[in-house]
Amino acid sequence: MDEIDRRLVEALRSNGRETYAELGRTVGLSAPAVHDRIAKLEGAGVITGYRASIAPEALGLGVTALIGVLPSDGAEQDDVAAALHGLPEVESCWFLAGEESFMLKVRVSDIAGLETTIGRVNRIRGVARTRTTVVLSTKWEGRVQPPQWPGTVLGG
């Protein structure tokens, strides 16, 4: 990635609905040149998709929590992951090194919903116990920054 690619990625992160012409004005390129660069960024797996950002509170999901999942002896991680994927409250799931095998980010309407979700997680075969932290407020999230080092070019 060069500086123009970084600026394109940042512009798309700010507003994924900008036209190629608008992006071109932002980075100083023509719309076709922007189209080509974005296609290379997509092809290289830098840009993985486009989606609407949703305010969870507007959907009635006012409680966010992180649930660490500690496995039982002999637990099959793929089976546990598949069962966790089936829980709609789980927004993100990370496989970890350490005592906890998985860290879940869940969003629910209220504390009673969180209690229900924790119970559902604990009933999954292969889960020994969980450790939950309630998020009081979100200062920021989704803050992936393109690298700033020189010489990273996509597509040669």
pLDDT of residue 156: 47
140 CB-contact burial (10 Å; exposed 0-12 / middle 13-18 / buried 19+): exposed
Cα–Cα distance between 155 and 149 in angstroms, integer?
Answer: 17
Give yes or no for a contact between 34 and 24, defined as CB atoms under 8 angstroms apart: yes
Domains of the chain as residue ranges with CATH: 3-43 (1.10.10.10), 57-135 (3.30.70.920)
**Confidence bin at 147 (pLDDT 50/70/90):** low
What pTM, to 2 d.p., does this model score?
Answer: 0.79
Which of 1-5, 98-102, 112-116 has the lowest average pLDDT?
Answer: 1-5
Residue 27 pairs in a beta bridge with none
H or E stretch at 21: helix 20-27
Q: Where are the alpha helices (DSSP H) in 58-155?
A: 77-85, 111-122
Q: Whats the size of the chain, residue-wise?
A: 156
